[in-house]
Chains A and B, each alone.
Chain A
C-alpha cells in the first residue's frame, strides 16, 4: 500500500482522526495541543496519528489534503481544517455539529 492509500484508509476507517505532532496526552506542538483540547471539550472520541513518528505520513498528509501545516482534522473522510479553523468552528458551534453528525451516521 502506498502512502496515499495508507492515508485514505486512515481517514476512511476512523470517523474522527487528528493528524498531529505528538500524542493527545503529550502533544509536541502548541497547535496540536490546542486541537486536542478543542476535540476533548466537544467530548469527541477521536483517533490520532503522530506525524513525527512517520515522515512519509507527515509529508503525505500535506499532499493528500493540499494543506501545508499540521494539525489536520478529518471527520468521516472529509478534511475539516487545522487548529485555527477548529477554534473558530468550536466558538461558533459548527464543530460540535460536525462531530455530532458523524456520530449520528454511526448509530
Chain B
C-alpha cells in the first residue's frame, strides 16, 4: 500500500472533488501484492481550461518519482467536476495485460 498511499497523497494537492487510486496490478503478470499498475481518476477544478495533454502532464509531473522508480503503468482519467457529472461519473476500463511487461 506504500505506493498507493504516496500517489493519493500527491494527487490530493490538486484539491480533487473526487479521487480514486486503483491498483490494477492483479490484472497483470506480476507477483501478488505488487504495486506496478495503477489507474487514477482525478476530478478537479484545476483541470478547467486545460487540454487533455496538459492535464496528464500535471499528473505525470506530480507522480514523476513513482513513474521513474516504481510503477510500470499509469492510466489517467482527469476531468473537471462538470465533465465527470456529464459523463455519468464513469471511466473507461483499462485494457487487459498482453504479457510483455519486460520492465
Contacts and interface: CB of A to CB of B under 8 A. Distances in A.
Nearest to A86: B52
Interface of B: 52-53, 56-57, 60, 64, 67-68, 73-77, 92, 94-102
Given A81-B56, A89-B52, 6 more contacts: A28-B102, A31-B94, A52-B102, A68-B74, A85-B52, A85-B53
Interface string A53-89: 0000000000000111100000000011111110111
Question: What 5 A-B pairs come out closest when comparing CB atoms?
Answer: A28-B100, A30-B95, A68-B67, A85-B52, A34-B95
A91 to B, nearest CB: 8
A27 to B, nearest CB: 6
Contact of B98 (A29, A66, A67, A81): A29
Of A22, A88, A89, most B-chain CB atoms within 10 Å:
A88
Contacts of B100: 21-22, 27-29, 52
A69 B67 contact: yes
A68 B64 contact: yes
A76 to B, nearest CB: 15
A87 to B, nearest CB: 6
A75 B95 CA distance: 23
Nearest to B74: A69
B98 A22 contact: yes
A30 B96 contact: yes
Nearest to A87: B92
A80 B100 CA distance: 24
B47 to A, nearest CB: 12
Nearest to A81: B53
Contacts of B102: 21, 28, 52
B60 A30 contact: no
Of A22, A30, A66, A88, most B-chain CB atoms within 10 Å:
A30
